[in-house]
Structure 1
Amino acid sequence: MKYGVFMIFCLSLVLFSCKNEKAKDEVQAASTDTTVVDIHNSQIALDWPGIYKGVIPCADCVGIETEVILNEDMTFVMRTKYLGKGDQKIFEEKGTFVWDKTGSIVSLKGINETPIQYKVAENKLIQLDMEGNTISGSLADNYILTK
């Protein structure tokens, strides 16, 4: 009888320690997760919805008057007018936009050409080049739309 009680006690001890070891492993795995979420990005920290306007450079006209409206529901409207060329028709494109993983850049989707990317800053959109880099050079300031 004593031997039976002793065996049950030992078996319980072994089972309990295995469960405890598994819980320890889970806690240790959770504590070693080094994923850092930056909460100080444009998507979270800035009042980004709104209307942004500017005149961007044009190869064969005076400039392209551009208006981009970013809505909270992740949709956009983009209106462009080629200045000094033709009948001054306003072109309008609509679609959705997505944030990049850093929460600093939006890509406009639904445009016939390749997606247009903008870096979102305080009260402005900075147009990026085809590779997603900031445009540099003497005309760089002309690729900024202000709110």
Structure 2
Amino acid sequence: MADPGVMPGDGPVGIVLDCSVVVDLLGSTEAPELLSRLPVDAVWHAPVLLATEVVSAARGLMLGGRVSSDRACAMVAAFDDLGITLWSPDRAQSLHALDLAENLTAYDAAYVVLAEGLDLPLVTRDRRLAAAVGGRVQVLSV
């Protein structure tokens, strides 16, 4: 059986990362193990809203007492170092995300629409999102 993270073709493997994966890469003690479960040399992609979601997640962790203020700031500062290619949706993609409103939030739909448009797998730690995708894209649950 082929590795589900390996895409056919000559170029590097590409994946779309959702916020659950990125926040754990930035702030979890499990980050090295999580990183080892991602395809080697993968090019990382995400919708531009990921940057704001990372700030929101760091804020929530800080206000919930799970990380210090300094750690939350370090998570946000380290986000740019991950080298994720951020994509802004065009009108058609935004309308397509709205079409998915019955099963997905607008935020989750942005990741699915990007994965569809780039024909790449979506990598998530969000079981609800993985279940709601409904076969639209390949999902790698890490």
Normalised by the length of structure 1, the TM-score is: 0.26
Q: RCO (CA 8 Å, sep 6+): is it higher in 1 or 2?
A: 2
Normalised by the length of structure 2, the TM-score is: 0.26
More helix by share: 2
Question: Which has more radius of gyration?
Answer: 1
More strand by share: 1
